Structure 1
Amino acid sequence: MAAPACYIGLMSGTSVDAADAALVQFDDNGNNPRIIATHAEEPDPGLRDDLLHLSQQVAGISLAKFGELDQRVGEWFANAALAVLEKAGMSAEYVDAIGSHGQTVRHEPESRYPFSLQLGSPSLIAARTGCRVVADFRNSDIAMGGQGAPLVPAFHRSVFARPDRDRIVINIGGIANLTVLPRASADDSQAVTGLDTGPGNALMDTWVAAHTKHSYDADGRWAASGNVDDALLAQMMSDPYLARPAPKSTGREYFNIDWLRAQIDSLYSPPIPADVQATLCEFSARTIAQAIDDYGPGDEELLLCGGGVRNDELCRRLEQLVRPRVVTRTDDYHVDSDWVEAVAFAWLAMRTVHGLSGNVPAVTGARESVALGGIYQAAISPE
């Protein structure tokens, strides 16, 4: 019997720190992912700077520059896919499809003409790797009236839902999001809910980069050195996004350095930089905990994943806020917390090539379930 087909998931989040590639096999039912190999491909510093600039600026980027960035991101993602294949000692012929999330530079699901824009030419990825590529996942859901995010709850349901316990999966990337998995969700997809809670690492990373030579706050040590400024925290917690009911999603186009500076400038006495970092850490923890209280059953098990799990100070504050709930990591349930989203996009690619839905309308607000994304074929041998 032939071995199950493999899939590659490619993901870069709002932090733009790496293109994560996960080579994965699933069982015959499309569940129980087995990670064969992983690779994190860092972007060139110039590419990261250009992408962060583009994600926060409405004007100032020419069409020529925009098109060039699409190809540069495609090269970056293709390199990540080739590297993970090399690590596994596997050729492209064993890969059924690559699921490429792309690099989000704008997410506007509630504009007059709703859209979500990701860069990373899937045609180039297909040409470079020899694999077919599934991409542009979010706009399929938006076309059905949804937010286009979060998209990983369907994967969370397939892997982490249990009929005998309530769970919430907390992904802390640049933006943090929740998937609420009540006991019934193992049998009923409509029981699943989810939302973007607000900033995860994005504002903390932005503030660190503006005041130090680092792109992130290692272990949350800078945040731990400061004191929470109550006035700034209250100002940030009053943001209208936090009071809006789900379904909702957000990104760096909303929670960015300009937003943060506006919060600080509104204060009579601006705090010192270390105290701002401490307050941002508390803000991320508070908004996640608030969403858990608002949407969770009350006695759920919490599973953490994403880059935020490496921020010890953020995790410490979150654990204090959600007591007495039990907080674990997805590592304890057979999916490495660093690779959950990359595996999820491998899973979504698998669903799409088999004509199966990948969104959860109860989460995104879409009118119906749909297969997500478009399929870009690799070169086909002439007959």
Structure 2
Amino acid sequence: MSDLYIGLMSGTSLDGIDGVLADFSGPRMRVAQHASAAFAPELRAVLRDLNTPGENELHRAALAGNALSRSYARVVQTLLERSGEPASAIRAIGAHGQTVRHRPGEFDGTGYTLQLGNPALLAERTGIAVVADFRSRDVAAGGQGAPLVPAFHQGVFGRAQETVLVLNVGGIANLSVLGADGSVIGFDCGPGNALMDDWCRQHTGELFDRDGAWAARGQVLPQLLAALMQEPFLQQPPPKSTGRDLFNPAWLSARLRCCAGAAAIDVQATLTEFTARACMQSARAYPGQILAVCGGGALNTYLMERLRAAAGPSLQVLASDALGLPALQVEAAAFAWLARQTLRGAPGNLPGVTGAAGARVLGTVHPA
């Protein structure tokens, strides 16, 4: 029987979908194919709007979930065509869905996390079993539901006798600490691309600051940077997770009051510096020698420069490509791995990372 899985990820950066065809038949996972697809502008706009309360949310969320699943199905089809594999050879698809709310532990003591999607429709469109809703079981067990990738990071990037740090910079940034002794720590450490992308879109019309070129021409505003770094979440000990529920345009607007009239380009430079410093404030708390950066942030040349500047000489900052897995494939591959864990009846969470009451088999299965 084949040991092929597809992983699909669309993150809080709202840029689109990454998909991988992962082969687990060897001693280490191998990505056989990778495909990506940008969101249609109208779908991106709806998903962004659903991050905040609005009219007729249930109806809009249901239709957005359908549209997202159709987009997922097209990425799956691309992966199958490029690989030459039939749908019947794929054990399952791990479909993360689109996070629009993330409030674990709040309101009633349990809280919730909500990833849009219609996994039943995806199973119908592809003829492949779909595993989805990975985060809810961990939240039900008292955990944060995030991050779920550190266990996968350990298998892919962990090294004997060396502590490796893995920084995923999507819409939100999360850090995995892979100890030389096999221990794993992981938590969300601050904003990734979310604030930078929102500001860039608002002031330039571009979806993101390509290579960080706009930010690189600006000047960091010390007063604004200080106000951003005072966010209590950054000082909170793990386990912790966050999302656009916290780091959003309204949050930024409240802090911009200290710098009324600041040039947009200087705010962008400051947001990039904020992301780098928030991430490195967490990373420097652990004695790693290597910091591997993955996610879309690894493609931001200026952000990588600022991460290196904040890291200092003792910590080598490089893209995860140097450790064998390209930056844009890591999270999608993680959800292929999580789908495999589900079908094997094996836990997908690390209680020490998420704060859950124990190890849990994650996800719900929609058979082919």
- TM-score bracket, shorter-length normalisation: over 0.9
Match of 1:52 among 48, 54, 76: 48
State the shift of 1:72 in Å: 1.2
Where does 1:29-44 land on structure 2 (aligned, <5 Å)? Answer: 32-44=28-40
Shift of 1:300: 2.4
Structure 1 Cα separation of the partners of residues 13 and 332 of structure 2:
15
Please state how far the C-alpha of 1:251 moved relative to its aligned partner. Answer: 0.5
CA RMSD of aligned residues (A): 1.2
Aligned 1:317-332 pairs, distance under 5 A:
317-324=306-313, 325-332=315-322
Using the TM superposition, give the Cα deviation of residue 272 of structure 1 relative to its aligned residue in structure 2, in angstroms.
Answer: 0.9
Give SS of 1:51's match: helix
Is 2:307–2:317's contact at 8 Å kept on the other side of the alignment?
Answer: no
Alignment match, 2:273:
282
Shift of 1:27: 3.2
1:84 aligns with 2:76: no
Matching residue's letter, 2:29: P
Quick check: 1:141–1:359 contact (8 Å CA) kept in 2? Answer: yes
User: C-alpha deviations, 1:309-360, integer Å up to 9, x for none?
Assistant: 1111100011011122112222122211110000000011011100011111
Distance 2:57 2:117 in 1: 17
Return the alpha-carbon distance in structure 2 between the equivalents of residues 116 and 269 of structure 1: 35
Whether 1:247 aligns to 2:244 is: no
Whether the 8 Å CA contact 1:77–1:120 is kept in 2: the answer is no
Aligned pair 1:348/2:345, yes or no?
no
Paired with 2:302 and 2:317, the residues of 1 have a C-alpha distance of 15
Partner of residue 118, structure 2? 121
Choose 254-263 or 110-119, whichever is displaced more. Answer: 110-119
1:276-324: per-residue Cα shift (whole Å, max 9, x none)? 0000000000000000122x12x42111111001111100011011122
Find out whether 1:375 has 2:365 as its counterpart: yes
The question of 1:195 aligning with 2:184 is answered no
Aligned to 1:381: none
Between the two proteins, what is the percent identity of the paired residues?
Answer: 45
Contact (CA 8 Å) 1:74, 1:119: kept in 2 or not? no
Q: Residue type of the partner of 1:24?
A: A
Once residues 159 and 139 of structure 2 are traced to their aligned partners in structure 1, the CA distance between those partners, rounded to angstroms, is: 29
Query: Across the two proteins, how many residue pairs are aligned to each other?
Result: 365
Q: In 1, Cα distance between the equivalents of 2:326 and 2:359?
A: 28
Secondary structure of 2:85's aligned partner: coil
Distance 1:178 1:66 in 2: 30
Match of 1:291 in 2: 282
Q: Does structure 1 conserve the Cα–Cα contact (< 8 Å) formed by 2:174 and 2:189?
A: yes
Alignment partner of 1:217 out of 201, 209, 214: 209
Secondary structure of the residue aligned to 1:245 is coil
Cα pair 2:349 2:362 within 8 Å, conserved: yes
Once superposed, which parts of structure 1, at least 4 consecutive aligned residues long, lie more than 4 Å away? none
Shift of 1:268: 5.3
Unmatched tracts of structure 1, length 5 or more: 186-190, 379-383
- CA distance in 2 between counterparts of 1:80 and 1:90 reads 14
- Distance in 1, matches of 2:310 and 2:56, equals 42
In the superposition, relative to structure 1, how do residues 32 and 9 fare at CA in structure 2: closer, same or farther (>3 Å)?
A: same
Query: What is the rounded CA distance, in whole Å, between the counterparts of 2:162 and 2:59 in structure 1?
Result: 52
CA distance in 1: counterparts of 2:231 and 2:166, whole angstroms: 24
In structure 1, C-alpha distance between the alignment counterparts of 2:123 and 2:114, rounded to whole Å: 19
How far is the alpha carbon of 1:132 from its aligned partner? 0.3
Deviates more, 1:166-175 or 1:65-74: 65-74
SS at the partner of 2:273? helix
Distance 2:134 2:105 in 1: 17
Q: Does the residue aligned with 1:210 lie in a helix, a strand or coil? A: helix
CA 1:268–1:103 in structure 2 vs 1: closer, same or farther (change >3 Å)? closer
CA drift at 1:81? 1.2
- In structure 2, the CA distance between the partners of 1:126 and 1:320, relative to structure 1 (3 Å rule), is same
Matching residue within 354, 358, 361 for 2:348 = 358
TM-aligned CA deviation for residue 79 of structure 1: 1.4
Distance, in Å, in 1 between the alignment partners of 2:90 and 2:210 is: 35
TM-score (norm 2): 0.97
Q: Distance in 1 between matches of 2:156 and 2:299?
A: 22
Deviations 1:201-252 (A, max 9, x none): 1100000000012000000011001000000000010011111111100001
* CA distance in structure 2 between the partners assigned to 1:304 and 1:62 by the alignment: 35
Deviation at 1:107, TM superposition (A): 0.5
Aligned match for 2:131, one of 125, 134, 137: 134
Preserved CA contact (<8 Å) 2:105 2:144: yes
> Does the 8 Å contact 1:199/1:255 carry over to 2?
yes
Write out per-residue CA displacement over residues 127-147 of structure 1, whole angstroms, 9 at most, x where no aligned residue. 000000010000111111100
Q: 2:4 matched to which residue of 1?
A: 6
Could you tell me which residue of structure 1 aligns to residue 70 of structure 2? 75
Q: Name stretches of at least 5 consecutive residues in structure 2 with no aligned partner.
A: none
> Does 2:321 match 1:337?
no
Alignment-derived partner of residue 18 in structure 1: 16
Cα pair 1:126 1:133 within 8 Å, conserved: yes
